[in-house]
Amino acid sequence: MKIENLIGSVGGDLKDELVEELLHRSRRKIDRALKRIRRPEAAVGIVKSPLGDLLVATSARGVALAHYLHDDSDLTVTIAKLRSDFDPVDDQRAVAEVGNEVRRYLAGDLEALRQNIDLTLVGHSFQKRVLGKLQAVPRGAVISYQALAAASGAPNGARAVGNALHSNPVPIYVPCHRVISSDGRIGGYGGGVARKIQLLRSEGFDLDNSQGRIPDNIVWGHKGTKIYCRRSCRTTAHVDRTRIFFFADPKQARRAGMRPCKICRPG
Amino acid sequence: MAHKKLHVPLPFETIMQRHEREIMRYLLRVLSDPEDAADLFQETWLRAYRAYPRLEPESDVRPWLYATASNLCRNRARDGARRSRVIVLDTEESTAANAIGRHHGSLHENEGYAAVHIREMISVLPTKQRQALHLRYFAGLDYAEMATAMDCTEESARANVSQAMKKLKARW
């Protein structure tokens, strides 16, 4: 008898009943053990939007990922990152609604975006804090990196805020496009500045692509005094810049519960 | 932009359903004891689940699963050897005669003397050669798959099998 055949016979003829019985027993134990280490499921799909293709993931808790797609390698890397916290399931239908929401939002529907956001993919506690504070910035307003840093408990951490926003897993939903430089320049954006301008325009800012600055007719409002002023107001020179918001127009400021300044009378 | 294709890796359940039988069979043949096999079977899947996010979506799951199972077998053999060395001086490198006495598990009732003898000869092979032989003849992997499973080149997988066969034939 050839030795190869003999090796093949090692273990005897494995009886199917034995294999099935062991499988049956093991499956139950595995299921129990897996339950404890299970990653939550997330529906994943690519949706089209006016802002380009988005890789979207939604979990039971809400939107977990809305990633601007650049190219295929980007897609692979993002899926790989997603997998460390979620078990992705290809489900185009479940995520399609996100595309509709973004479309409606850009068309001016204030209530279009859902409120449920899953911040599981936010790695760092500082980033969590920054994104949490950012969610309080309403549509029609922008905040500076500096002010957001101060609000997040790091008054000198404007750059760190920039980094935290750059890796925001759920842009649009967590409005990182509403953060600009404190000198009025638009600043950067993870999905490209063009998208940031597009989003801010849809929120009422009168922006010109070429300028790269927010327009002069906007007003700023102070978080503490609840007063809003023109940018040309003489109080602008000595205001605490970490405590102000910018609003697209006086109406937005009033909606945020502020009153006009009596010196510059912004209207 | 428009024709991007989404490659979401298969759900882990699907992978389990597809491969659980062959992994169980493999473990049953490598280990002499069905209880050990069931034990490592669970361990294999739990480990695989934890490591699954790190597996490249395009790579082949089958050799990867065998690698997990086979590494666990190797660890078990090593720890077993360490344990038994304290009690009796009987390790994986024990003599054939010893081993025949030891192997009386239910699996071996139908095994002929020759098969038991072969199993014993395999168990004294160096780890890599033994692993290669198991993957080749118990799991039926081809050399490319073995290379993935053993984290080596195809040539070295082939060489390990052939070295092992040479030794077995010499001692037969």
Higher pLDDT, B112 or B36: B36
Mean pLDDT of A150-166: 92
> DSSP H helical segments within B52-112, as ranges?
61-87, 96-102
The whole-model pTM stands at 0.78
Mean pLDDT of B53-81: 88
In chain B, positions 59-118, which contact chain A (CB-CB < 8 Å)? 107-112, 114-115, 118
Q: What is the pLDDT of residues B6-18, one digit of tens each?
A: 788 889 999 999 9
**A-B interface: how many C-beta pairs under 8 angstroms?**
122
What is the pLDDT, as a whole number, of residue B91? Answer: 44
Averaged pLDDT of chain A: 89
Yes or no, beta carbons of A83 and B53 under 8 Å apart: yes
Residue B104's pLDDT band, with cuts at 50, 70 and 90, is very low
Active site residue A264: no
Please check the confidence at residue B88 and state whether its pLDDT lies above 80.
no
Facing residues of A185 across strands? A213
Listed range (A58-72, A98-112, A119-133, A201-215) with the worst mean pLDDT: A201-215
What is the pLDDT, as a whole number, of residue A30? Answer: 94
What is the pLDDT, as a whole number, of residue B95? Answer: 44
In degrees and rounded to multiples of 5, residue A230 shows phi and psi of -70, 160
What is the pLDDT, as a whole number, of residue B168? Answer: 87
- DSSP notation for B126-161: -HHHHHHHIIIIIS---HHHHHHHHTS-HHHHHHHH
What is the pLDDT, as a whole number, of residue B79? Answer: 82
Higher pLDDT, B76 or B46: B46
In degrees and rounded to multiples of 5, residue A122 shows phi and psi of -80, 115
Question: What ipTM score was computed for the predicted complex, to two decimals?
Answer: 0.78
Listed range (A23-27, A253-257, B30-34) with the worst mean pLDDT: B30-34
Cα A22 to Cα A34, A190, B18, B77: the distances in Å are: 18, 51, 16, 21
Higher pLDDT, B3 or A227: A227
Mean pLDDT of A119-132: 92
Listed range (A26-40, A83-97, B106-120) with the worst mean pLDDT: B106-120
Residue of B nearest to A80 (CA): B53
Q: What is the pLDDT of residues A220-267, one digit of tens each?
A: 999 899 999 998 899 988 888 888 889 988 988 998 899 999 999 998
- Paired sense of beta strands A141-144 and A179-180, if any: parallel
Yes or no, beta carbons of B138 and A19 under 8 Å apart: no
Residue A1's pLDDT band, with cuts at 50, 70 and 90, is low
Residue of B nearest to A55 (CA): B6
Cα B36 to Cα A228, A230, B39, B82: the distances in Å are: 74, 77, 5, 17
Please check the confidence at residue B105 and state whether its pLDDT lies above 60.
no
HEC per residue, chain A: CCHHHHHHHCCCCCCHHHHHHHHHHHHHHHHHHHHHHCCCEEEEEEEEECCEEEEEEEECCEEEEEEECCCHHHHHHHHHHHHCCCEEEECHHHHHHHHHHHHHHHCCCCCCCCCCECCCCCCCHHHHHHHHHHCCCCCCEEEEHHHHHHHCCCCCCHHHHHHHHHCCCCCCCCCHHHEECCCCECCCCCCCHHHHHHHHHHCCCCCCCCCCECCCCCEEEECCCCEEEECCCHHHHHCCHHHEEEECCHHHHHHCCCEECCCCCCC
Cα A44 to Cα A79, B38, B72: the distances in Å are: 9, 35, 33
User: Which chain B residues touch A52 with a CB distance below 8 Å?
Assistant: 1
Mean pLDDT of A7-20: 75
Yes or no, beta carbons of A25 and B169 under 8 Å apart: no
Query: Which residue's entry shows tokens 């939002």?
Result: A105
